[in-house]
Amino acid sequence: MRSLFDRMFVDPFHHLADQSAHVVPVLVIVFVTLIVGGFVAFVSRWLTHRLLQLARFDHLVQRTGFAGMIERSGVFRSPSDLGARFVQALVWLLTVLFALNAADTPASVNLVRRFVDYIPNLIAAGLVLLLGVVVSRMVARSALLAAVNAQWPAARLIAGGVRVLVMTLAVVIALEQLQIGSVPLLVAFAIVFAGIIFALAIAFGLGARDMARQWIEAKVRSSVAEEEVFRHL
Amino acid sequence: MEDLFPTELKTRLEQIGEADIVVGIPSYNNARTIGHVVRAVSVGLAKYFPARRSVIVNSDGGSKDNTKEVVLEAEGGADDLLLVSHPVQASQRISTPYHGLPGKGSAFRTIFAVAKRLNAKACVVVDSDLRSITPGWIELLAQPVLEYEYDYIAPYYHRHKYDGTITNGIIYPMTRTLYGKSVRQPIGGEFGFSGKLAARYLEKDVWDTDVARFGIDIWMTVTAIAEGFRVGQAYLGAKIHDAKDPGADLTSMFRQVVGSFFSLMESYDIVWKNVHSCQPVPLFGFPFEVGVEPLTVNTDRMIHAAQQGVNDLREIYSAFLAPQTLVDLTNFVHRNGQGFHIPDPLWVRMIYEAAVAYRHRLLDRDHLLQSLVPLYLGRTASFVLEVTESTAPQVEERIETLCRVFETEKPYLAQQWDAAGKEHLHAQPV
């Protein structure tokens, strides 16, 4: 008959040793994977940065107008830096997924599976956001030019508003793709936007009634006058 | 090409068979003025070309004000006049809708096609809103083609010193600098050309671009010069339009004309890079002094437009103007009243840098062209302030000075044109 001492101390120790014999190699694998992955991610970043610089990526991006945005963000030094850090983050992500898979616990395997299933949504949301940035920029610039050529005093404000509107729509669609509740955001935006327009209309129509009348009269008079007296061709 | 012709037009052309002269009149809701133009053309054909078979073609953009009826019913021609020699055949008249994008260029395309189909020796086009047209214009525009083997006759008018500012500030100096022919009114609107040149125009695939709209005039002129056709000018006196010009929105008009010019610079860069001097272009007709209608210009409004443009569009300008050009622009534009001035060298550099940016697509082409409108208005205001007290000959001399600056700076354009392909040397990132 086994002694009380064995049952209280020796058996749990043996049990712990058995479990450790199974878990420690897994932990070692996870640990080594993370270290190697971190190193690979760092090398990937350095390599990508060098390759992008050799391919004159910064110069190409400057022409699209994204370079200014990237530099103004204050987070990335240049488009090459952004690209390199993106590759590093991607390698890190793959490393973590690999490590979780290597852990081979029900929770980690489930997490990896769910994440893999989620990847198409992430890609779609990313593309929507990217498209939103491009489209909002184009549309805002068109609005700015139209407003300046119509000599509207608040041209930049109009362009900024258009940009915010388009980007908000893009964010809402992206959130929809990520299956994160976007309805409250959309409703909040609609309320705020409508409120601003309503407030401006009241302010301009009532608060500055004379100015509104004079401004509209001046616009009508000057456009007619120019049409009638001036030939550009 | 036959697709351009509605069935009714095809039948009519078959009945006519052939013609020596085709006179085209593009129109859109011009019932008020087109009658006078048709009468002047009819009389001109009867008086100056009595032995020639002639056809007047009204190419219409879907007018809803009876333009077609006015064209077909307008009096004129041999019956109303006492002529020394009577026409063998009265001129035929056609009024037909054109196909394609709505615009003057599409209307011209149909006229070219009719000229080709009728195997015309000479073709003349005149605007439908002219108030100063006389029968003599038809002789002056067609005769050099029929008798002296010219292929292209551009108009030469006296205009008010504030009139035609896109012509005087950009298109005339650049046409002359780049292509070496001193055509004073390259976008005048009235032209004479040979059947051979009309057929050449039809071969081009440009009818879904701005050439189909206001870009047609400069496209015709540059194509004729750059492809080596024989070019002349005809002195027509004064050009007076109807006051209202439907669809003449400045931004679209500017975009179409200047965009077409920049586009032609790409097509013919081998030609203009090898032009190093300017040749005078023969002038037909007898130049005489004419009175022109007075014009008033609101310079304050234009100055305000330029100042707002420089303030609000700085980001866009920095994408295609050299840093020093932008600094100079900012300094000059923010002087108010009589101090406001955009000097010639600065203006020329801005236009050349915009042309380079257009070629290399440094930003969206439409945005680039639209962003030039405030600069153009600023330059126009500067010019108006400068010539307020000047006489017509002094204004011509002033435009001559501008042309010389364009010519002096041409090497800069050529250098940037090639250099920017490899690396855009001067622009800052947006």
Specify the CATH number for the domain of residue B140: 3.90.550.10
Residue B192 has φ and ψ, to the nearest 5°, of -120, 140
Residues B245, A227: C-beta atoms closer than 8 Å: yes
* B162 CB within 8 Å of a chain A CB: yes
Q: What is the pLDDT of residues A189-219, one digit of tens each?
A: 788 878 888 887 887 777 777 777 777 776 6
- Please tell me which of the candidates A63, A145, A153 has its beta carbon nearest to residue B367: A145
Q: What is the ipTM of this complex?
A: 0.85
- The yes-or-no verdict on residue B246 having pLDDT over 50 is no
Give the model's pLDDT for residue B428.
46
* B19 CB within 8 Å of a chain A CB: no
Q: Rounded to the nearest 10 degrees, what angle do helices A79-103 and A106-149 cross at?
A: 160
Beta strands B54-60; B231-238: pairing state: unpaired
Give the model's pLDDT for residue B359.
94
Give the model's pLDDT for residue A147.
94
Q: Nearest-CA distance from B230 to chain A in Å? A: 24
Q: What is the pLDDT of residues B291-330, one digit of tens each?
A: 777 777 888 889 999 999 999 999 999 999 999 999 999 9
Where is the domain boundary, B221, B256, B284? B284
Residue B424: partners with Cβ closer than 8 Å, 6 or more residues away = A63, B360, B362
Tell me, yes or no, whether B349 and B389 share the same domain.
Answer: yes
Give the model's pLDDT for residue A79.
84
Q: Looking at residues B351-355, what average pLDDT do you find?
A: 97
Which residue is closest to A151 within chain B, CA to CA? B305
Tell me which of A84-88, A97-101, A203-207 is least confident. Answer: A203-207
Q: What is the pLDDT of residues B156-172, one digit of tens each?
A: 998 888 888 999 999 99
Tell me, yes or no, whether B280 and B386 share the same domain.
Answer: no
Q: Looking at residues A171-188, what average pLDDT do you find?
A: 81
**Nearest residue to B93 via CA among B119, B116, B127, B60:** B60
Tell me, yes or no, whether B357 and B215 share the same domain.
Answer: no
Where is the domain boundary, B284, B314, B345? B284
Where is the domain boundary, B284, B314, B340? B284
Burial of B334 (0-12, 13-18, 19+ CB in 10 A): middle
**Total domains, chain B:** 2
Q: Between A and B, how many CB-CB pairs are < 8 A?
A: 87
Q: Looking at residues B69-94, what average pLDDT do you find?
A: 73
Tell me, yes or no, whether B276 and B303 share the same domain.
Answer: no
Tell me, yes or no, whether B311 and B186 share the same domain.
Answer: no
Tell me, yes or no, whether B272 and B307 share the same domain.
Answer: no
* B394 CB within 8 Å of a chain A CB: no
Which residue is closest to B159 within chain A, CA to CA? A231
Q: In angstroms, rounded to a whole number, what is the distance separating the alpha carbons of residues B201 and B112?
A: 8
- The yes-or-no verdict on residue B202 having pLDDT over 80 is yes
In a domain, B124, yes or no: yes
Residues A141, B189: C-beta atoms closer than 8 Å: no
In a domain, B392, yes or no: yes
What is the model's pTM? 0.81
**DSSP-assigned letters across all residues of B215-241:** THHHHHHHHHHHTT--EEEEEEEE--B
Question: In this structure, are residues B231 and B179 in contact, taking their beta carbons and an 8 Å threshold?
Answer: no
Residue B193 has φ and ψ, to the nearest 5°, of -155, 160
Tell me, yes or no, whether B253 and B277 share the same domain.
Answer: yes
- High-pLDDT (> 70) share of chain B, %: 92
Burial of A73 (0-12, 13-18, 19+ CB in 10 A): exposed
In a domain, B289, yes or no: no
What's the gap between Cα A97 and its chain centre?
A: 22
Which residue is closest to A229 within chain B, CA to CA? B295
Give the model's pLDDT for residue A148.
94
Give the model's pLDDT for residue B247.
44
Tell me, yes or no, whether B304 and B219 share the same domain.
Answer: no
Q: In angstroms, rounded to a whole number, what is the distance separating the alpha carbons of residues B295 and B274?
A: 39
- Please tell me which of the candidates A155, A228, A231 has its beta carbon nearest to residue B312: A155
Q: Which domain holds residue B61?
A: 2-284
- Please tell me which of the candidates A62, A63, A148 has its beta carbon nearest to residue B309: A148
pLDDT averaged over chain A? 82
Residues from chain B contacting residue A227 (CB–CB below 8 Å): 244-245, 248
- Work out whether the CA dihedral B386, B391, B392, B396 comes out positive or negative: negative
Select the residue from B191, B313, B317, B366 to test the A interface by mutation, using most A Cβ atoms within 10 A: B313
B417 — pLDDT class (breaks 50, 70, 90) = very high
Other C-beta atoms within 10 Å of B23: how many? 30
Question: In this structure, are residues B372 and B146 in contact, taking their beta carbons and an 8 Å threshold?
Answer: no
Tell me which of A148-152, B17-21, B149-153, B368-372 is least confident. Answer: A148-152
**DSSP-assigned letters across all residues of A202-219:** HIIIIITHHHHHHHHHHH
Tell me, yes or no, whether B48 and B91 share the same domain.
Answer: yes
In a domain, B148, yes or no: yes
- The yes-or-no verdict on residue A22 having pLDDT over 60 is yes
